[in-house]
């Protein structure tokens, strides 16, 4: 049975509904029930594979969509179709605006906006050069307004079917949804595979040349840190959802997501929280500092401790913490921005990361979209100072980043928000697969180590697609 599509059944309002459902350990099997509905999205905590995650959120069939591309936003909903050149975040604020509801205890999301904000969306409010062509990049923003969701709490081992009552179709299909989400399925056995080898867009030598250019900018005082990335491409045959199911096993991460949006599938296994907002409290958890893991426990412990004591990584992390303190300071109450955790080490399937936590209390006259604008894109994937680092990224990278280093997540009707940094993130368009990996370059970075870090970060993706890791990833083995 097909659920309602965007724009149907808006002339209706009912109160919020929350129905407890049986707990199911693997939410991927629940997502199978809505995989082929319009705009399905799975915000995946990585549980039970990783300890850091807690909630999964699954939904589909938004009653309104906003898609921004090339200076215009297409809006589809009960009022029909319209196109606007207004600020995309203001259009989203308008779409979310209505009688605000208090967040229910322990349930992070009962309805609202879910989707992605691409890295290049920042061009709408920051002055950035436009050296790289747009090519065939996905939309700069793709957001659906969802009236219902299944929320799975892996800590309390309970699930809820929730809705906000913004769409008549929810009431009409409530019993159907209850039955649908109470009976997970394990998939139909379909396959997917990479049919063209995954290769980097730039050669090993070219990476070294761009590294040298960044070092010159640092010596000349233009910047302190630049996050430089390289893109990998291949061809995928089959359903991208099946590829995501592989990815979440090879690289489980607490801020993962699968989204089948307009003309693109997004597969993210991100370990990094960008912005979390609930009842006025803001948290961001930047990652800066990475080392590979080892299957040998003693070697793995030494690698972890080496990262913990690395002067370079400590300095790199501190630069981004200071940048984010400044970003939060633009929208938080004076004196509330603080750093409760500095230089923690968190371990994932393929790498160890250095993670810090920055918090603040949002000013009374600010909301989630003000917070997003003030901090976007995240400092951990740009550099410092942010705008100058972004200018250098535009100059030295050979293509636009698109969704990579943007953000995926939700903004609820209650004003709450949780978003990731879209790293370890794959896009699939018409069978063409692409992903990026990068790292922060500072004055004492070593070229070979920085290049190897990009391959270490890519290793989980190579493993998910059953591709042997590359010693020299550039075209022609250079």
Taking a C-beta distance cutoff of 8 angstroms, is the pair 236, 428 a contact? yes
In eight-state DSSP terms, residue 36 is T
What phi, psi does 443 have (nearest 5°)?
Answer: -60, -40
Residue pLDDT, tens place only, 60-78: 999 999 999 988 999 999 8
Strand partners, 65: 76, 144
* Predicted pLDDT of residue 405: 97
Residue ranges with strand state E in 262-406: 264-270, 273-278, 281-284, 287-292, 338-347, 351-361, 383-384
**Residue appearing with tokens 């030494």:** 302
* Predicted pLDDT of residue 100: 58
Tokens of 467: 């591709």
C-alpha gyration radius of the chain: 21
Residue pLDDT, tens place only, 207-264: 999 999 999 999 999 999 999 999 999 999 999 999 999 899 888 999 999 999 988 9
The active-site residue out of 137, 164, 288, 391 is 288
Q: From residue 99, how far is each of 166, 242, 273, 324, 370 by CA, in Å?
A: 11, 39, 28, 31, 19
State the Cα angle at 52 between 162 and 163, rounded to 5°.
5
Q: Which residues of the chain have pLDDT under 70?
A: 1-14, 51, 98-101, 103, 132-135, 188-189, 466-478
The active-site residue out of 272, 346, 359, 463 is 272
* Predicted pLDDT of residue 351: 87
Taking a C-beta distance cutoff of 8 angstroms, is the pair 354, 289 a contact? yes
Q: From residue 336, how far is each of 339, 359, 371 by CA, in Å?
A: 10, 8, 15
* Residue 287 burial (CB count, 10 A): 23
126 CB-contact burial (10 Å; exposed 0-12 / middle 13-18 / buried 19+): middle
* Predicted pLDDT of residue 98: 61
* Predicted pLDDT of residue 47: 83
Residue pLDDT, tens place only, 122-170: 998 887 777 766 667 789 999 999 999 999 999 999 999 999 989 988 9
Taking a C-beta distance cutoff of 8 angstroms, is the pair 268, 224 a contact? no
Nearest of 288, 251, 283, 253 to residue 271 by alpha carbon: 253
Taking a C-beta distance cutoff of 8 angstroms, is the pair 27, 58 a contact? yes
Prediction pTM value: 0.92
Half-sphere exposure at residue 464, Cβ-oriented, CA atoms within 13 angstroms: 29
State the Cα angle at 356 between 351 and 359, rounded to 5°.
145
* Predicted pLDDT of residue 101: 65
Q: Is residue 272 annotated as a catalytic residue, yes or no?
A: yes
What phi, psi does 222 have (nearest 5°)?
Answer: -70, -35
């Amino acid at each position: 049975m097909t659920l309602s599509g965007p724009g149907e059944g808006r002339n209706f309002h009912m109160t919020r509904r929350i129905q407890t459902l049986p707990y199911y350990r693997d939410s991927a099997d629940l997502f199978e029930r809505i995989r082929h509905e319009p705009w399905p999205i799975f915000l995946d905590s990585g549980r039970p594979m990783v300890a850091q995650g807690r909630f999964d959120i699954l939904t589909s069939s938004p009653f309104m969509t906003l898609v921004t591309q090339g200076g215009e936003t297409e809006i589809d909903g009960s009022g029909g179709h319209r196109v606007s050149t207004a600020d995309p975040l203001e259009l989203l604020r308008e779409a979310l605006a209505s009688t605000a509801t208090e967040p229910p205890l322990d349930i992070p999301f009962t309805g609202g906006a879910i989707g992605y904000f691409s890295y290049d969306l920042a061009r709408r409010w920051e002055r950035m050069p436009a050296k790289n062509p747009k090519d065939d990049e996905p939309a700069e923003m793709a957001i659906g307004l969802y009236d219902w969701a299944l929320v799975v709490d892996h800590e309390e081992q309970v699930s809820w079917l929730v809705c906000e009552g913004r769409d008549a179709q929810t009431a009409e299909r409530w019993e159907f949804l209850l039955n649908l989400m109470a009976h997970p399925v394990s998939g139909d056995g379909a396959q997917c595979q990479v049919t063209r080898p995954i290769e980097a867009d730039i050669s090993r030598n070219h990476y070294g040349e761009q590294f040298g250019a960044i070092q010159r900018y640092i010596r000349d005082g233009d910047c302190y840190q630049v996050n430089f990335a390289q893109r990998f491409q291949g061809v995928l045959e089959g359903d991208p959802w099946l590829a995501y199911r592989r990815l979440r096993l090879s690289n489980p991460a607490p801020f993962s997501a699968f989204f089948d949006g307009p003309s693109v599938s997004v597969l993210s296994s991100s370990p990094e929280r960008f912005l979390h907002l609930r009842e006025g409290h803001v948290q961001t958890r930047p990652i800066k500092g990475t080392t590979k893991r080892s299957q040998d426990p003693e070697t793995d412990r030494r690698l972890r401790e080496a990262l913990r004591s690395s002067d370079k990584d400590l300095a790199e992390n501190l630069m981004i913490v200071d940048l984010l303190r400044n970003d939060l300071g633009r929208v938080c109450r004076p004196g509330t921005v603080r750093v409760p955790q500095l230089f923690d080490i968190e371990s994932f399937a393929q790498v160890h990361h250095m993670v810090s936590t920055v918090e603040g209390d949002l000013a009374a006259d600010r909301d989630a979209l003000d917070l997003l604008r003030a901090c976007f894109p995240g400092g951990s994937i740009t550099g410092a100072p942010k705008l100058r680092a972004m200018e250098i990224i535009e100059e030295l990278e050979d293509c636009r980043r698109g969704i990579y280093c943007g953000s995926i997540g939700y903004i609820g009707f209650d004003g709450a928000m949780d978003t990731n940094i879209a790293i370890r993130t794959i896009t699939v368009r018409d069978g063409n697969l692409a992903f990026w990996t990068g790292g922060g370059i500072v004055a004492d970075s070593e070229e070979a180590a920085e290049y190897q870090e990009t391959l270490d970060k890519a290793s989980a993706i190579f493993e998910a697609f059953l591709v042997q890791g590359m010693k020299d990833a550039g075209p022609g083995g250079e």
